Amino acid sequence: MRTRVISGLAMVPLLLVVYFGGYWLIALTLAVSVIGIKEFFSGFRKMGIQPSLKLGYAAIALLYGVHCYMYYMGDFNNIFVMAWLVLVVMAGSLYMFDLEKRKPEDAMASITGIIYIVFFAFHIVLIDETDNFSIMKWLVLLTAFGSDIFAYFSGMLFGKHKLCPNLSPKKTIEGAVGGVIGSVILSALFGFIFARQYLIHFVIIGLLASPVSMLGDLTASAYKRKMGIKDYGDLIPGHGGVMDRFDSVLFTAPFVYYYVTIVMRYFMGL
């Protein structure tokens, strides 16, 4: 536990990156994508599946290269992201053309990894660049990491009933409830202090994004179970690899982004 706490504190400077946003946040998300996809594909290889890391890196380079150019020019258009997704699926399918060396599983693992890690993580950047709502990027961290921390200690103190023993034996229902409560509290406090005009939305996101973050964590655990690994890596002492630390963020970031762009911007007329 001591190592886990120390490693968690060592990641506090990353909050400065989120605060400054812009190219700093783009660089952080880019790094998470590069390291995360390498860890994820390494897990597949332990199953005898051979996803294309070169294709993953090429997809990352294209997404962030064009995005940075458009961001610099002040003319970013989400249609580019849609085109990028189409290219990823096409390229992943073409990877299977070498029938003597490649299997459908290799192609699907390549496509899944790129979308699951690179595309999902990219939503943090999209939130940061959303007009009038960039502050919502903090909710990705508050709900994901806040849920994890509160669930961890709630589970230690009150945990009795297993939440999903086949995927994560240590997680409990009591811990999950504590995680949701903690997420709501943190989100509400942050909204009250920094964005009172959106306070109700901070509370709603805190309530809904917490279970989403837990599903992200359990999804990563399911992959690890099938891959036969305990952790995706050992980059962060006490936590494992980048994927072990940011797995819940991968689900939370898209949820927050689409809540902001659909509910807040359109339904609420903001």
Distance in angstroms between the alpha carbons of the first and the last residue of the chain = 44
Distance CA 214, CA 198 (A): 24
Distance CA 28, CA 22 (A): 10
Average pLDDT over residues 109-118: 97
The per-residue pLDDT for 11 is: 59
pLDDT tens for each residue of 138-170: 999 999 999 998 998 998 899 888 998 888 888
pLDDT tens for each residue of 82-100: 999 999 999 999 999 987 8
The per-residue pLDDT for 159 is: 84
**What is each CA distance from 155 to 149, 178, 180, 183, 222, in whole angstroms?**
10, 8, 12, 15, 20
Q: Give the tokens for residue 203.
A: 């509370």
pLDDT tens for each residue of 57-67: 999 999 999 99
Distance CA 160, CA 81 (A): 44
Distance CA 128, CA 132 (A): 9
Helices (H), the chain: 2-10, 14-20, 22-45, 53-73, 79-94, 104-113, 120-128, 137-158, 173-194, 199-227, 242-258
pLDDT tens for each residue of 24-57: 999 999 999 999 999 999 999 999 999 999 999 9
Distance CA 164, CA 216 (A): 13
% of residues, the chain, pLDDT over 90: 68
The per-residue pLDDT for 4 is: 45
Place 201 in a pLDDT band, splitting at 50, 70 and 90: very high
| Residue at 220: amino acid letter | A
Picking from 216, 224, 222, the residue whose alpha carbon sits closest to that of residue 240 is 224
Distance CA 72, CA 3 (A): 40
Q: Which domain holds residue 21?
A: 2-267
Distance CA 251, CA 120 (A): 7
**What is each CA distance from 267 to 30, 162, 261, in whole angstroms?**
32, 38, 9
The per-residue pLDDT for 237 is: 65
- Of the listed ranges 127-136, 212-221, 246-255, the least confidently predicted one is 127-136
- In Å, the largest CA–CA distance within the chain is 60
The per-residue pLDDT for 7 is: 45
Residue 199 has pLDDT above 90, yes or no: yes
The per-residue pLDDT for 101 is: 87
**pTM assigned to the model:** 0.92
**Number of domains making up the chain:** 1
